[in-house]
């Protein structure tokens, strides 16, 4: 890793050449494609002549597929890239510097189509080369890259992943972009992967095993690469097929290039927005993992997403509901659930999200309905709370969700919560990287995996960070508690002044307004505590007017002349039933396992005897009283009270500090 740090530092230093000709936010658009280009050059250098010879001997009239097969074979290994230019970085260095731009364009455009498209369409690299040429710095940048050895014998594919991520982090910080949208810290990825395969020993053992892995927001491909590494480390003969989709052009270009040089099918890495255009619509996967962007709104994509939710319902990806427009994390999770296999192997999902998907949204909100759908289908297996300050772009609390549609019998109907946010699960870094100040050491990762794999339900000691719950423990029924409306009425100057603000009164002309005020003055000057009695007086007073008083105006008068009064009589409707006071309306959350009637007798009526439950406030799905909601509140389950220190101890500490300060002041004065 120290070699990668040194290498990234050297590459980073090349960016200094761009100062003045490029904005800082544009450095990555030059440096990252050059790193990819140099990597490919190093990989292809040994087979250069063989490829050129193979091209000369191609059968006349060979189609593109035959051509690619022969030329890929000339390269050898699993590499699915070739280059038909006579140039390499080494030979370009011996050419006339004035011809470098033309020669580099020739070099890039003679890659196999799968790579040429990356440089031309995603990196837009020829545009950057022209800017380098126009600025007179192309040769300087190229010459420095010639000094870097990126041959696979020197830098492995995993190490290249580290290099790209380190560079992306630096460029993103420089341009104030969100580095976390591109990649996830490696120790977090390893934790997710270890959790995904923790109990899969039997299913992954033997020959002829094939596993398909998918990341819907794959970035540079770090999650996919480490999953393959872990699976092959467990079973070297396993065949791992990697799939992904990425919206950022540069990240997509890097990921696809990595697939090309590691022998994977590059067409399985798609470019575009996963939520609006699913490039793998017909595919299902064994393992899925992702770190979707946190708190990023999906407003500009909402039309196709909402259309799919409304038109396709549960046959589509978003039938369970859509979250608020400001955060699309749960859209990614629903998308992944839609790709679970329905065979005996089933699927497992690991996704990193912030705290919002756990508890945002009340009963029957989009978020709550999505949680309800997942928990009622018994897909949620475990949720792990991670330490803060793990990610490069944010210090917020994050959580790993583990879902599967093949729970073992012991876990059915259960959800395991693991609080791995405590000090025993992290260590401080010697040097911060952006917002990343902490990391999960290997021994802590192993401990988290052990807690999960052993399905521990700790009540005390070290294992009290893992607890087991029924899926219904996170559900509640929200009932609406009403209390009767009680009003008093009085024709006073203060209340008459409020009448002037009522729209129905403002619609009258000046003479009519005065006539109404004169009529109201005839009502006895006393406080009425019964609405029916005051309404009778009001009706008699208004009857003397020579114009008709409509219902809206009469309602406005009653509103202006009334105030809430807990000692007044209850207001009733035409059927004699108490009217609810919306200002006193409240909601109670009744645990799903409890009868709401018993809950009201115990928790409501002893304190507000005149309250009642609005039985028209029902759940849209089960039609029962109250609306069902789900939330998962880690603090509720893992909160530990820490008593304050004794006052005597605090006082003694303050006196000690005062003495130290006084001593320091004497030294300064001396």
Distance between CA atoms of residues 653 and 223, nearest Å: 49
Q: Is the pLDDT of residue 181 over 60?
A: no
pLDDT band at 180 (very low <50, low <70, confident <90, very high): very low
pLDDT band at 542 (very low <50, low <70, confident <90, very high): very high
Among the ranges given (151-160, 186-195, 230-239), the one the predictor scored with the smallest mean pLDDT: 151-160
pLDDT given for residue 347 in this prediction: 96
Q: Which residue has the higher pLDDT, 63 or 565?
A: 565
pLDDT band at 430 (very low <50, low <70, confident <90, very high): confident
Question: 214-265: per-residue pLDDT in tens?
Answer: 999 998 898 999 999 999 999 999 999 999 999 989 889 989 988 888 888 8
Among 319, 315, 313, residue whose Cα is nearest residue 331: 319
Distance between CA atoms of residues 141 and 31, nearest Å: 9
**Average pLDDT for 467-495:** 96
Class of domain 2-174: mainly alpha
pLDDT given for residue 166 in this prediction: 80
Q: Is the pLDDT of residue 480 over 80?
A: yes
Most confident of 21-30, 176-185, 290-299, 549-558: 549-558
Helical segments of 454-582, H only: 493-499, 503-506, 510-521, 531-542, 551-560
Proportion of the chain above pLDDT 90, given as a percent:
73
pLDDT given for residue 448 in this prediction: 95
Q: Which residue has the higher pLDDT, 183 or 295?
A: 295
Contact 125, 32 (CB under 8 A): no
**Average pLDDT for 401-422:** 96
CATH of domain 179-477: 3.40.50.150
pLDDT given for residue 2 in this prediction: 52
Question: 7-49: per-residue pLDDT in tens?
Answer: 888 988 998 999 999 988 889 899 999 999 999 999 999 999 9
Distance between CA atoms of residues 369 and 321, nearest Å: 6
pLDDT band at 1 (very low <50, low <70, confident <90, very high): very low
Pairing between strand 239-246 and 210-215?
parallel
pLDDT given for residue 270 in this prediction: 95
pLDDT given for residue 179 in this prediction: 40
Distance between CA atoms of residues 379 and 375, nearest Å: 6
pLDDT band at 391 (very low <50, low <70, confident <90, very high): confident
pLDDT given for residue 176 in this prediction: 55
**Average pLDDT for 357-364:** 94
Q: Is the pLDDT of residue 640 over 80?
A: no
Among the ranges given (59-68, 154-163, 180-189, 527-536), the one the predictor scored with the smallest mean pLDDT: 180-189
> Rounded to the nearest 5 degrees, what angle is found at the Cα of 124, between the Cα atoms of 171 and 6?
35
Question: 547-596: per-residue pLDDT in tens?
Answer: 899 999 999 999 999 999 999 999 999 888 999 999 999 999 999 989 99
Q: Is the pLDDT of residue 461 over 70?
A: no
Question: 308-349: per-residue pLDDT in tens?
Answer: 999 999 999 999 999 999 999 999 999 999 999 999 889 999
Domain boundaries, the chain: 2-174, 179-477, 487-564
Which DSSP helix (H) or strand (E) runs through 52?
Answer: helix 48-56
Helical segments of 218-325, H only: 222-234, 249-261, 302-312
pLDDT given for residue 462 in this prediction: 57
Question: 258-286: per-residue pLDDT in tens?
Answer: 888 888 888 999 999 999 999 999 999 99
Distance between CA atoms of residues 331 and 337, nearest Å: 10
Q: Which residue has the higher pLDDT, 177 or 121?
A: 121
Question: 93-147: per-residue pLDDT in tens?
Answer: 888 999 999 999 999 999 999 999 999 999 999 999 999 999 999 999 999 999 9
pLDDT given for residue 500 in this prediction: 94
Q: Is the pLDDT of residue 427 over 70?
A: yes
Residues 6+ apart with CB under 8 A from 499: 505, 517, 556, 557, 560, 561
Proportion of the chain above pLDDT 70, given as a percent:
97
**Average pLDDT for 154-180:** 74
> Rounded to the nearest 5 degrees, what angle is found at the Cα of 314, between the Cα atoms of 309 and 315?
95
Residues 6+ apart with CB under 8 A from 9: none
């Amino acid at each position: 890793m120290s070699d990668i740090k040194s290498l990234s530092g050297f590459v980073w230093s090349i960016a200094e050449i761009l100062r003045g000709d490029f904005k800082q936010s544009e450095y990555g658009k030059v440096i990252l494609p050059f790193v990819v280009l140099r990597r490919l050059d190093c990989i292809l250098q040994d087979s250069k002549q063989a490829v050129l010879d193979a091209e000369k001997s191609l059968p006349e009239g060979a189609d593109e597929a035959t051509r690619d097969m022969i030329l890929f074979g000339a390269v050898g290994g699993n590499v699915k890239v070739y280059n038909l230019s006579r140039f390499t970085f080494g030979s370009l260095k011996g050419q006339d510097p004035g011809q470098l731009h033309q020669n580099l364009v020739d070099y890039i455009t003679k890659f196999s189509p799968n790579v040429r498209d990356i440089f031309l369409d995603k990196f837009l690299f020829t545009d950057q080369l022209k800017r380098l040429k126009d600025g007179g710095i192309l040769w300087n940048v190229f010459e420095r890259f010639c000094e870097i050895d990126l041959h696979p014998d020197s830098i492995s594919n995993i190490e290249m992943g580290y290099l790209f991520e380190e560079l992306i982090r630096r460029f993103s910080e420089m341009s104030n972009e969100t580095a976390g949208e591109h990649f996830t810290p490696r120790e977090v990825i390893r934790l997710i992967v270890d959790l995904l395969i923790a109990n899969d020993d039997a299913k992954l053992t033997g020959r002829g095993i094939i596993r398909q892995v998918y990341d819907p927001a794959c970035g540079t491909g770090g999650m996919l690469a480490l999953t393959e590494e872990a699976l092959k480390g467990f079973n070297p003969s396993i065949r791992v097929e990697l799939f992904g989709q990425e919206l950022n052009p540069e990240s997509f270009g890097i990921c696809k290039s990595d697939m090309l040089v590691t022998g994977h099918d590059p067409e399985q890495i798609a470019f575009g927005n996963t939520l609006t255009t699913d490039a793998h619509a017909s595919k299902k996967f064994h393992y899925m993992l992702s770190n979707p962007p946190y708190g990023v709104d999906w407003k500009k994509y909402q039309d196709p997403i909402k259309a799919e939710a409304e038109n396709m319902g549960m046959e589509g990806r978003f039938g369970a509901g859509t979250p608020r427009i400001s955060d699309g994390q749960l859209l990614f999770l629903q998308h992944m659930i839609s790709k679970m296999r329905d065979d005996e192997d089933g699927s497992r999902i690991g996704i990193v999200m912030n705290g919002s998907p756990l508890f945002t949204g009340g009963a029957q909100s989009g978020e709550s309905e999505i949680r309800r759908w997942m928990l009622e289908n018994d897909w949620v297996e475990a949720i792990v709370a991670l330490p803060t300050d793990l990610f490069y772009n944010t210090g917020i609390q994050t959580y790993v969700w583990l879902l599967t549609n093949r729970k073992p019998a012991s876990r059915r109907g259960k959800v395991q919560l693991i609080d791995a946010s405590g000090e025993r699960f992290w260590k401080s870094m010697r040097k911060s990287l952006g917002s990343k100040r902490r990391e999960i050491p290997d021994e802590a990762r192993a401990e988290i995996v052990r807690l999960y794999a052993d399905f521990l339900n700790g009540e005390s000691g070290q294992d009290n960070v893992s607890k087991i719950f029924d899926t219904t423990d996170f559900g509640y029924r929200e009932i609406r508690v009403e209390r009767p409306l009680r009003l008093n009425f009085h024709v006073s100057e203060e209340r008459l002044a409020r009448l002037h603000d009522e729209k129905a009164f403002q619609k009258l002309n000046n003479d009519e307004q005065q006539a109404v005020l004169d009529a109201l003055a005839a009502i006895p000057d006393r406080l009425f505590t019964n609405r029916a009695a005051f309404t009778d007086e009001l009706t008699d007073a208004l009857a003397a007017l020579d114009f008709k008083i409509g219902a809206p105006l009469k309602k406005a008068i009653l509103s202006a002349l009334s105030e809430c009064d807990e000692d007044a009589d209850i207001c009733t409707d035409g059927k004699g039933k108490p009217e609810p006071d919306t200002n006193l309306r409240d909601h109670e959350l009744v645990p799903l396992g409890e009868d709401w009637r018993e809950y009201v007798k115990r928790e409501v009526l002893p304190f507000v005897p005149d309250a009642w439950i609005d039985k028209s406030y029902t759940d849209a799905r089960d039609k029962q009283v109250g609306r069902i909601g789900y939330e998962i509140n880690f603090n509720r389950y893992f909160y530990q009270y820490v008593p304050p220190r004794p006052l005597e101890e605090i006082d003694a500490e303050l006196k000690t500090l005062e003495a130290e300060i006084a001593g320091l002041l004497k030294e300064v004065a001396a």
